[in-house]
Amino acid sequence: MIISASYRTDIPAFYADWFAQRLAAGHVIVANPYGGKPYRVPLSGAEVDGFVFWTRNMEPFRENLASLTAQGTPFMVQYTATGYPRPLEPSVTTAAQAIATITSLARQYGGRAVVWRYDPIVYTDLTDAGFHRNNFAQLARALRGAVDEVCVSFAQIYRKSRRNLDLAAEQHGFTWRDPDWSEKQALLDDLQVIATDQRMRLTVCSQPDARGIAAQCIDAARLSDLAGRDISARQKGNRPGCLCAESRDIGAYDTCPHGCIYCYAVRDRDKALANYRRQKTDLR
Domain assignment present for 151:
yes
Burial 85-119 (b: 16+ CB within 10 A, else e): eebbbeebbebeebbebbbebbeebeebbbbbbbb
21-36 tens-digit pLDDT: 999 999 999 988 888 8
Domain assignment present for 208:
yes
The parent domain of residue 192 ranges over 2-278
Residue 281 has pLDDT above 80, yes or no: no
In which band, very low, low, confident or very high, does the pLDDT at 272 lie, cut at 50, 70 and 90? confident
In which band, very low, low, confident or very high, does the pLDDT at 282 lie, cut at 50, 70 and 90? low
Domain assignment present for 167:
yes
Mean pLDDT, rounded, for 272-278: 86
Q: How many domains does the chain have?
A: 1
107-124 tens-digit pLDDT: 999 989 999 999 999 999
What's the pLDDT at 114? Answer: 98
In which band, very low, low, confident or very high, does the pLDDT at 277 lie, cut at 50, 70 and 90? confident
Rg from Cα positions in the chain: 18
5-16 tens-digit pLDDT: 999 999 999 999
Domain assignment present for 260:
yes
Mean pLDDT, rounded, for 229-244: 82
206-227 tens-digit pLDDT: 888 888 888 999 999 999 999 9
Range in 137-141, 199-203, 237-241 with the lowest mean pLDDT: 237-241
What residue type is assigned to position 133 of the chain? R
What's the pLDDT at 239? Answer: 74
Cβ atoms within 10 Å, residue 224: 18
In which band, very low, low, confident or very high, does the pLDDT at 269 lie, cut at 50, 70 and 90? confident
124-181 tens-digit pLDDT: 999 999 999 999 999 999 999 999 999 999 999 999 999 999 999 999 999 999 999 9
Domain assignment present for 133:
yes
**% of the chain beyond a pLDDT of 90:** 81
Domain assignment present for 135:
yes
Cα–Cα distance list, 180 to 17, 19, 119, 126, 185 (Å): 43, 41, 17, 18, 9
Whole-model pTM: value is 0.95
Domain assignment present for 283:
no
Domain assignment present for 284:
no
**% of the chain beyond a pLDDT of 70:** 98
